[in-house]
Structure 1
């Protein structure tokens, strides 16, 4: 078991609930004692509070998989990671879901999006659950005598910045609530904050905490490289977010991670997505992960969703992947992903690239003629609940951690920035791309191959199903419009153009009702 994840079910964790998460006025958690009283009685309580914040990105609530931090939101459907996959991967080219749940079809077909879609609400609510919790703990630390409180505050500010990053990326605007609001109280609804205002806040926060954040911490907690990776990702997409490119800054921070972080590529790609990826070679590459444990941190919304959702006994040997039951049978990749390795199942099987082998092809068709039919498309077996090293015990819930940031992404970000003219070394960029490829036994490329189209494809081969594909496609100008089509884009089998409106999601109706200062995104 993972030491940090065991703390997720602790006394301090159980004290927090927050009801009206779309209401930015409601920033005070309902607790039996004030946070200041808790910290005054036991300064070590800060570790339980931190555990709660980390858990908010991976779990649904404090009392197991059936509990929810968010009143009214489904405990199984609403966790943060589950909705990042829903909104980032199912809306993009590489993955589709067949369940047809209310709202999920809209994501899978990138069509008929509206403010009533519960999956937009789930992510919005989760973000505005995390942010007030962070604000209140920062205020409590300011008013209590806790050793190393500045280090703790830097850690909390990172988590708050990460929550705001998803508001910037997914919704384009929101409200900006900080510890000043928690300390003073709010009598009126907060004004709407623009994408640029939120960008500037997140940038300033991350720059402010970079020096104060330690280079190394215990696994699963924030370190300096995690701060730098979030900065690099923010800068990489800055032209989309603000209209002004910051590729040179993205290159700078990716290079800092590479040169100073002490990370190395795991020799085996599969180890990064196995049940023991919290140790050994995988831990040397993973910079920051959302933790999972099949016993003490169970959730239907962490990597359990990724593993079980991609398996079904109808066509697969489910127990090979370390889970009990017959699988949930929801997710399949499309040829927009596995077609990057070859144009048929036989071509995938013959490919030397180990990443090409991470699709279940037996009994399934290469073409996704109907996204609701299980055997149309190849399930991804990138994630599994089996250990890479040693024996495994099958469990219902996954113990595989989710890599939010890892070194291979830093390598590919560096290369992209070089190709975009941000400086850096073309020789080094080519070396980094080839390190990523050769790790999976893919052939090395030459400098003439390294262009933006190749980088987008390589990011798909390496990083699909890791919660960033939609963002990548938008940055490359290939998400909306009709220049790049994929299966079921726009609700059509071979794809059709979708409006530029879809580059951001609609603000949920519940958020608009809670704060009259919020306005809907154009086109919805």
Structure 2
């Protein structure tokens, strides 16, 4: 593909250079110049590590662009950015709109830097694999960009000086570039099943997702669904889902079977600044329960991105994901759940009744044995019902980190980006859309069998059923907005299940719908190319 010598914006280059220096100063302990250092094995490894570190900036902060404004999460007591969560105020200068644009282009320039030095650095036995890892990380950033904003500027060269004029490539060109880069990287990286680095399985999973996503576009190829299914099956590699859902989400930082790719953190790194160097995932998806003023009694949560009634209703009594996903019974000291093998005698502060417990008889019996608990009947603990009081929505516990109990950015649990159960669901969707419904149903039922629920039938197997299953399996895992956008279900499902969204909220300029996010205003202001187009709904 032709190299395009435009950088997204001078701002992004400046951000990258300052951020990259922050990461690399820890490793550079001599007075050698950058050129001298990065041409050594140690120096080049530091550039590779800086590329992985960019994932923390992409995923470690506010998750609005991944989760807000969907069918599964809505604001409770505290407000989410209104443009991203409700669409009526969505504009190029809206809060949060630029987050992925900024962080992804920083990641792209980090990759461009490393690719540049890979040509002149010391040759080692691992160099080819490292180049493959970097090419994947760059393509991964473009995949986030093209899903969110549509076509963007392709930048694949390292620049020292800022470039203030850039063009916009079409979404079709960006997808072609992503596929080319990932397929090249697939032949370069290590053939590992699990681990901390990008490997063949990582790339196979993402190639499946890229082809699946492109298949829904008007420029997608007729073979894309079939290709996506093939890559998904290659990533599965015949492995069954043997690790239970509870074991998968037990709070520790080990890389567990089924985890294909994650953003990795360590308690050691966090020790230097425990309130800034972690991530925010554990701070969302639940009510405010207290913070450090409660001396460890409960975790801090933002009271935003709270599960909607639709999200609650996805689960049945026999689904073992319910107990793992939600903290249904909250003890007087929240973290006693994780720190005591026997919790039967602990005082209960709150109880959130499930749909199958929606009887007065059950409530009376529970309160008789837990007289000091606050009982939340089924249907009463979603953000649309009395959202102004603490504890009035059910907490999501799957991301809890008992080792980091306070603040928004203190968790050192890895953020899981890709795991085997999702690969099965990608395969299920790809086979369904390719017309091979029996095979697709088999892939989906592998996930349901691990959850302990009955198999889905061929009669009910459609795209809505897949989205429901993805909701049960992947709640809170930063996929939902992309899932709804990919399948063309964003307007329908967000307006149906989100209490603050109506279908008309999506109406934009020129008769276009606000599906793609707008190109950030700061990008347009810095660009000296006056022909650079905004997305139609925001013109």
Q: TM-score, normalised by structure 2?
A: 0.76
Which residue in 1 is equivalent to 2:128? 150
Closer, same or farther in 2 for the Cα pair 1:212/1:242, shift >3 Å? farther
Query: By how many angstroms is 1:405 displaced?
Result: 0.8
Closer, same or farther in 2 for the Cα pair 1:296/1:466, shift >3 Å? same
Which residue in 1 is equivalent to 2:208? 232
The answer to whether structure 1 residue 417 and structure 2 residue 430 are counterparts is yes
The answer to whether structure 1 residue 271 and structure 2 residue 247 are counterparts is yes
- SS of 1:29's equivalent in the other structure is helix
Closer, same or farther in 2 for the Cα pair 1:273/1:319, shift >3 Å? farther
The answer to whether structure 1 residue 378 and structure 2 residue 355 are counterparts is no
How do 1:205-284 and structure 2 match up within 5 A? 205-216=181-192, 219-245=195-221, 246-259=224-237, 263-279=239-255, 283-284=256-257
* Separation (CA, whole Å) in 2 of partners of 1:144 and 1:235: 34
* Separation (CA, whole Å) in 2 of partners of 1:130 and 1:476: 27
Closer, same or farther in 2 for the Cα pair 1:366/1:311, shift >3 Å? closer
How do 1:89-488 and structure 2 match up within 5 A? 89-98=67-76, 100=78, 104-147=81-124, 148-179=126-157, 182=159, 189-216=165-192, 219-245=195-221, 246-259=224-237, 263-279=239-255, 283-297=256-270, 304-310=279-285, 314=289, 326-341=300-315, 351-357=317-323, 358-360=325-327, 362=351, 364=376, 365-369=380-384, 373=388, 374-375=390-391, 377-386=393-402, 397-423=410-436, 426-480=437-491, 485-488=496-499
Contact 1:489 1:496 in 2 (8 A): no
Query: By how many angstroms is 1:92 displaced?
Result: 1.1
Contact 1:22 1:124 in 2 (8 A): no
- SS of 2:121's equivalent in the other structure is coil
Q: Give deviations 1:165-194, integer Å, cap 9, x for gaps.
A: 111010112211112x538x6766221112
- SS of 2:243's equivalent in the other structure is coil
Query: By how many angstroms is 1:271 displaced?
Result: 3.0
| Stretches of structure 2 lacking an aligned partner (at least 5 in a row) | 1-6, 22-30, 329-350, 352-373
Contact 1:501 1:523 in 2 (8 A): yes
Contact 1:80 1:301 in 2 (8 A): no
Q: TM-score, normalised by structure 1?
A: 0.78
| Stretches of structure 1 lacking an aligned partner (at least 5 in a row) | 1-18, 60-78, 343-350, 387-391
Query: By how many angstroms is 1:217 displaced?
Result: 7.4
The answer to whether structure 1 residue 506 and structure 2 residue 518 are counterparts is yes
Larger Rg: 2
Query: By how many angstroms is 1:299 displaced?
Result: 7.4
Query: By how many angstroms is 1:519 displaced?
Result: 2.1
* Separation (CA, whole Å) in 2 of partners of 1:328 and 1:483: 21
Closer, same or farther in 2 for the Cα pair 1:469/1:318, shift >3 Å? farther
- SS of 1:516's equivalent in the other structure is coil
Query: By how many angstroms is 1:57 displaced?
Result: 1.1
* Separation (CA, whole Å) in 2 of partners of 1:81 and 1:28: 17
* Separation (CA, whole Å) in 2 of partners of 1:150 and 1:129: 23
* Separation (CA, whole Å) in 2 of partners of 1:27 and 1:325: 32
* Separation (CA, whole Å) in 1 of partners of 2:245 and 2:471: 14
Contact 1:169 1:241 in 2 (8 A): no
Closer, same or farther in 2 for the Cα pair 1:414/1:327, shift >3 Å? closer
Query: By how many angstroms is 1:313 displaced?
Result: 6.2
